[in-house]
Amino acid sequence: MDKERLQDELRIFRDRNFLRQKLRSSLTVYVLLALSYLLIVILFVVSLSRVSMLSSQLNEMRKELKRNNSSNDFKLFPCGPEAREWEYFSGKCYYFSLHATSWQRAKELCEEEHSFLAIINSHAKQNFIMYRTRNQRFWIGLSDRNAEGEWKWIDGSDSTTGFTYWKEGEPNNSDQNEDCAHVWTYGEWNDVHCTYECYYICEKPAPP
């Protein structure tokens, strides 16, 4: 009788022990799992921050490169590396249009680009424009549309007192209706009707 009880108790003890051990081992597994999750999260956060650090460094390098490039390009393109259709000459920037239009429209198109129809006030400038226009008709900022025979530059300055380069026999106000000036063969100036369609030259100061 006593022996049986003893065996029973022994079995219960063994069972309990078994349970305790099982509990302990599964606890260890959970703790290990939690630790590895934690480790993964930490690794993830660390690598994320590293990646974002590297990408911001890369961005800085890119910006620096761009700054260097564009400051170098300013040597080649004094009118701005982003505005290469503007040509530099003696402190000014010039745009030679690719389309022909009326004098008034040309004036407006230059103004839309913060510039004005070219004013030719020196031999050097006249030569530059002659080489560049190659006998094609290009509007310049000269007209007598306010008072017949009083040729004025677009900035209001009188043209008769300064530099002129009229073709021989011009301005002739042909048909009594020629109030706008353009450069023509060998860059010489002629007056034509303002609605005639010519290419045009815009001018503006070069950026500092």
Q: Within a 13 Å sphere around the CA of 14, how many CA atoms are in the beta-carbon half?
A: 6
7 binds, among Ca ion, ligand MFU, none (CB under 5 to 8 A by kind): none
**Vertex 198: Cα angle to 206 and 116 (nearest 5):** 25
Q: Please provide the DSSP assignment of 110-145 as one string.
A: HHHTT-EE----SHHHHHHHHHHHTT--EEEEEE-S
Concatenated DSSP letters for 65-113?
A: HHHHHHHHHHHH-TT-TT-TTSEEETTEEEEE-SS-B-HHHHHHHHHHT
Q: 191 or 203, CB closer to ligand MFU?
A: 191
The only residue of 190, 198, 199, 201 in contact with Ca ion, by rule CB under 5 A: 190
**Rule CB under 6 A: is residue 135 a binding residue for ligand MFU?**
no
Among 66, 85, 38, 59, CA closest to 204: 85
Nearer to ligand MFU by C-beta: 89 or 166? 166
Determine which residue in the list 71, 174, 177, 185 makes contact with ligand MFU, applying CB under 6 A.
174
Smallest distance, Å, CB 192 to ligand MFU?
A: 4
| Binding residues for ligand MFU, total number by CB under 6 A | 7
Written as six digits, the tokens of 205 are: 């100061």
Which residue among 94, 103, 190, 200 contacts ligand MFU (CB under 6 A)?
190
Interaction of residue 192 with ligand MFU, rule CB under 6 A: yes
By CB under 6 A, name the binding residues for ligand MFU: 170, 172, 174, 178, 190-192
Q: Which residues bind Ca ion (CB under 5 A)?
A: 170, 172, 174, 178, 190-191
